[in-house]
Amino acid sequence: MDTNELMTMVDSLPLDLKTQLITRLLNSLNPSQKEIDELWAQESEKRVAEIRSGKVTLIDGEEVFREIHDRFSK
């Protein structure tokens, strides 16, 4: 099925089905806040595990900003 055929099918749908289709398409483009929150929770848990395992080392914020300043003030 090509795009034109799909659009023709959509045009022929009753209004209530078009509305459902629009809602579904928009939801697929913009995940719900719950999904975003779940993804952030997973990422947070992963980062905490990396810190606890020693895989990553924390750097003090002041040191980070000092390095950025030094790097870009030349």
Q: Where are the domains of the chain?
A: 1-30, 32-74
| 3-state SS assignment for residue 73 | coil
Confidence tier at 70 by pLDDT (50, 70, 90): very high
Could you identify the residue written with the tokens 């606890």?
Answer: 52
Q: Any alpha helices (H) in 1-74, and if so which ranges?
A: 3-12, 15-29, 33-53, 61-72
pLDDT digits (tens, 9 = 90+) for 20-52: 999 999 888 876 788 888 999 999 999 999 999
